[in-house]
Amino acid sequence: MDVSIIGCGGVLSKHISAWRKTKDKIVAVVDKDVRRAKAVAKSYSVPHVFPNLGILLKNLDLINLDVVDICTPPSTHHDLVIEALDGGIKNILVEKPLALNVSECKEIMDVADENETHVCVCHNYLFKKSVQKLMNLMDEGRLGHVKQIDIHHLQSDDIISTFPPWVNNLPPGVFGESGPHTIYIMQALSEAFAQPEIDVLSKEHITLRFKGDGICGNVTMLYGETPRTEWTINVYGSEITAHVDVCRDVLLLMDTRPTKSVSFVLSTIYDSLRLMVGTTATATSSILKRSVNDSHERLIRSYSESCKLKTDLPHCSLADGKRVVEVIDAIADEMRDSVAY
């Protein structure tokens, strides 16, 4: 397939390196900063550069285009996805979150329903090996009856300081940038969850309480005011408790029956066990960057295959993207109303 990437910002390198590992071809890059786009095109031997999506769509007689990959800030997603759909593009990959609010998500879905389209939201951390293994074990019933899921996501000031300026303009600030990752993982682990209860403890600290039929989930998000970056998932089953260290891509399974002990360890990073204790902030940042790249590669490879098979990626559909934005919307509302904020 022939691919065009829209936006040459920070996330571009993850997408472009991932596409280059598929059998697909990047035929164009688009950015309003044409000088930056030309530099990217030169670095990666991309033949065409355009200043905006509209001009690209007017030149489809010059180039073949099968996929548009949108790597721009969230404030642009709604307009760009609809423009691509109206321009006849059938396959669209868009970075998370799908849009700024639920209304924009609904408008995208309405336009997509009018066409036979294949739109995927980039919920890349679902494609971590440890998270994939956890989801497979849960689907197979290997953990027994799951009653509780806890996710803790902490990001240090060092990590947050690397975010682009537009993050501060999102309705819930940094929670609109980092929060979707934790939310889509929780929603993927149990589709029984309804909208969560939200506690705003400070402008850096929020907790979510999810409830479903016979299951509950707790999310802690602390973005700033912490020296460490950590991200863990704990799933408590009647037979096995699963612990995932998302940053280091480690899955640890513990048999909960009294006669059993640790039964399984999956490590996808060679030195992850050493790093489980006493990791420095620098080492954590390095592993997190490598981990993000790996998850984008697996998602884009899977998306490429799904386009050819005309199937949807689980938990990455427009409906899944809208579910995430519903929670982000609620967080933004709660933050505006909160005395703590």
45 and 87 part of one domain: yes
pLDDT in tens, 296-318: 999 999 999 999 898 889 999 99
Domain assignment present for residue 87? The answer is yes
pLDDT for 310 equals 87
pLDDT in tens, 13-58: 999 999 999 999 999 999 999 999 999 999 999 999 999 999 999 9
Domain assignment present for residue 178? The answer is yes
CATH of residue 46: 3.40.50.720
Q: 64, 95, 122 — which closes off a domain? A: 122
Domain assignment present for residue 99? The answer is yes
Q: 93, 122, 151 — which closes off a domain? A: 122
116 and 152 part of one domain: no
CATH of residue 246: 3.30.360.10
Domain assignment present for residue 315? The answer is no
3 token code pair: 């691919």
Q: 92, 107, 122 — which closes off a domain? A: 122
User: Which residues form the domain of 112?
Assistant: 2-122
Domain assignment present for residue 189? The answer is yes
pLDDT for 105 equals 98
133 and 76 part of one domain: no
142 and 196 part of one domain: yes
251 and 295 part of one domain: yes
55 and 85 part of one domain: yes
- Residue 148: exposed, middle, or buried by beta-carbon count in 10 A (0-12, 13-18, 19+)? middle
pLDDT tens, the chain, 341 aa long = 999 999 999 999 999 999 999 999 999 999 999 999 999 999 999 999 999 999 999 999 989 999 999 999 999 999 999 999 999 999 999 999 999 999 999 999 999 998 889 999 999 999 999 999 999 999 999 999 999 999 999 999 999 999 999 999 999 999 999 999 999 999 999 999 999 999 999 999 999 999 999 999 999 999 998 889 999 999 999 999 999 999 999 999 998 776 555 444 444 344 344 444 333 433 444 444 445 568 999 999 999 999 989 888 999 999 999 999 999 999 999 999 885 55
Q: Which helix (H) or strand (E) holds 55?
A: helix 53-58
Domain assignment present for residue 69? The answer is yes
84 and 144 part of one domain: no
Q: Are 218 and 208 in contact (CB under 8 A)?
A: yes
Among residues 321, 339, 53, 20, which one has the least CA distance to residue 183? 321
Residues whose CB is less than 8 angstroms from the CB of residue 141 and which lie 6 or more positions away in sequence, other chains included: none
106 and 167 part of one domain: no
pLDDT for 289 equals 46
148 and 269 part of one domain: yes
21 and 139 part of one domain: no
Q: Are 249 and 128 in contact (CB under 8 A)?
A: yes
Domain assignment present for residue 308? The answer is no
- Count how many domains the chain has: 2
197 and 87 part of one domain: no
Could you give phi then psi for residue 252, rounded to 5 degrees? Answer: -120, 125
> b or e along 99-116 (b: 16 or more beta carbons within 10 Å of the residue's beta carbon)?
bbbbebbeebbebbeeee
pLDDT for 65 equals 96
pLDDT for 259 equals 58
pLDDT for 255 equals 87
Any idea which residue has 């936006």 for tokens? 7
175 and 220 part of one domain: yes
196 token code pair: 């969560």
Domain assignment present for residue 277? The answer is yes
pLDDT for 291 equals 52
